[in-house]
Amino acid sequence: MKTLIFSFIFFAGLLFGFTSCQNKSDDMTPDPQVELALTQGTWRVSAYTVNGTDQAALFNGYIFTLNQNNTASANNGTVTNGTWASSTNNGAKTISIDLGTSMPFIILNQPWKVGAFNFTTVNLSFSSINPTVQSVLILQKN
């Protein structure tokens, strides 16, 4: 009888363990609010700082378009095409823009955390640990 009770408790524990443990860290779903804001019109970089140093001049003259089909482009007289995506992971909204590996676009090829945003301004930040880098990117609607 003890073996039967022990077996029942053991299998009930396994069943509970398998059904209650879900890894939410891989739940990377598109964020409809961010996507709606970013796909309305064209954008320019109004500010870009790295560890507090102004680097916005890297993006002077570029107009960015982010489309609903997740294609992206940058135009400064020459058009560069790529992709973009938004996601929410454990409540943190992020966007990434991939326009290739040439400067200044390689800067955008990372997950940018979305701060305050609306239909005219989007505040983004990126932090790395090694080496320690704090970047802030502000997109302004044209």
Domain ranges within the chain, ordered by starting residue:
29-141
Q: Report pLDDT for 33.
A: 78
Q: Report pLDDT for 92.
A: 87
Please say if the pLDDT value at position 48 is more than 70: yes
Higher pLDDT, 5 or 65: 65
Per CATH, the architecture of 29-141 is what?
Beta Barrel (2.40)
Which two three-digit tokens encode residue 9?
């408790």
pLDDT tens-place string over residues 11-41: 444 444 444 444 444 445 556 777 888 999 9
Tally of helices (H runs) and strands (E runs) in the chain? 2, 9
The 10 Å CB-count burial string (b at 16+, else e) for 84-115 is: bbbbbeeeebbbbbbbeeeebbebbeeebebe
Percent above pLDDT 90 for the chain = 59
Q: Report pLDDT for 129.
A: 77
Please say if the pLDDT value at position 5 is more than 70: no
